[in-house]
């Protein structure tokens, strides 16, 4: 019996010593984890996108007072993937005309590779210093589909101008024209129709002018 008690006491002492030894050991170091942060793949310029605008007076007349402003903007992840928006406003800010198109198809805008270049291109796109009036349009006989069709004819909008008499009347009115590139081979032309007898001032597309060359 004395031998059994001694053996039991020795076992308890050994277990206690092992526990104290393991308790004093420092914890095992964790295996280092790979850096899981996402590395940006876009450049700063691309991440900012292509969001630019330009504005210029179209008609600025003192007597009688007639003031209209053209505003153009491009919005997109890149300038080549942008949407171009054209808005013409009266002097108090009321919009009377709007047009949208994809920059990748518009002459003068499709080659603008960054926001700075696009801002310059937008200014040129809406520049109407060389604009005119409807009396400068070609004669009906030289428009698209006519016997004396010109090499680079004007293509009248059939829903607005159905025949020669309507075309000739448009030319006689000498309405202000706003023409701008709407693709790679032509300009879109819209006319300003002043409101009379209570009708609102408005603009409408009258057709496309094909580019030479």
Q: What is the arithmetic mean of pLDDT over 90-95?
A: 93
Q: Given pLDDT bands bounded at 50, 70 and 90, which one contains residue 2?
A: very low
Instruction: Decide if pLDDT at 17 tops 60.
Output: no
**Token code pair at residue 92:** 């108090």
Domain ranges of the chain: 45-210
Q: Once rounded to an integer, what is the mean pLDDT over residues 5-22?
A: 44
Query: Would you state the pLDDT for residue 47?
Result: 59
Of the pLDDT bands very low, low, confident and very high (cuts 50, 70, 90), residue 46 is low
Closest CA to 156 of 173, 168, 143, 146: 143
Long-range contact set of residues 58-65: C-beta below 8 Å, sequence gap at least 24: 58/88, 58/126, 58/128, 58/131, 58/178, 59/176, 59/192, 65/91
Residues of the chain above pLDDT 70, percent: 77
* pLDDT digit string, tens, across residues 58-76: 999 888 889 999 999 999 9
pLDDT of residue 10: 43
Query: Structure pTM?
Result: 0.75
User: Is 174:134 a contact under the CB 8 Å cutoff?
Assistant: yes
Contact 56/125 with Cβ under 8 angstroms? Answer: no
């Amino acid at each position: 019996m004395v031998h059994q008690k001694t053996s039991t006491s020795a076992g308890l002492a050994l277990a206690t010593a092992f526990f104290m030894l393991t308790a004093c050991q420092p914890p095992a170091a964790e295996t280092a984890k790979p850096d899981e942060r996402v590395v940006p793949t876009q450049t700063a310029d691309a991440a900012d996108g292509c969001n630019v605008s330009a504005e210029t007076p179209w008609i600025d007349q003192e007597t009688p007072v007639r003031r209209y402003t053209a505003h153009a903007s491009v919005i997109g992840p890149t300038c080549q993937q942008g949407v171009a928006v054209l808005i013409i406003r009266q002097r108090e800010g009321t919009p009377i005309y709007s047009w949208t198109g994809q920059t990748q198809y518009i002459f003068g805008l499709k080659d603008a590779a960054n926001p700075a270049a696009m801002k310059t291109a937008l200014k040129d796109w809406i520049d109407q210093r060389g604009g005119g009036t409807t009396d400068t349009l070609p004669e009906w006989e030289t428009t698209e589909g006519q016997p004396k069709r010109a090499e680079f004819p004007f293509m009248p909008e059939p829903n607005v101008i159905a025949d020669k008499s309507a075309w000739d009347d448009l030319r006689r009115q000498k309405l202000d024209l706003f023409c701008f590139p709407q693709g790679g081979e032509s300009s879109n032309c819209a006319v300003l129709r002043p409101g009379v007898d209570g009708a609102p001032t408005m603009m409408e597309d009258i057709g496309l002018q094909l580019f030479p060359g």
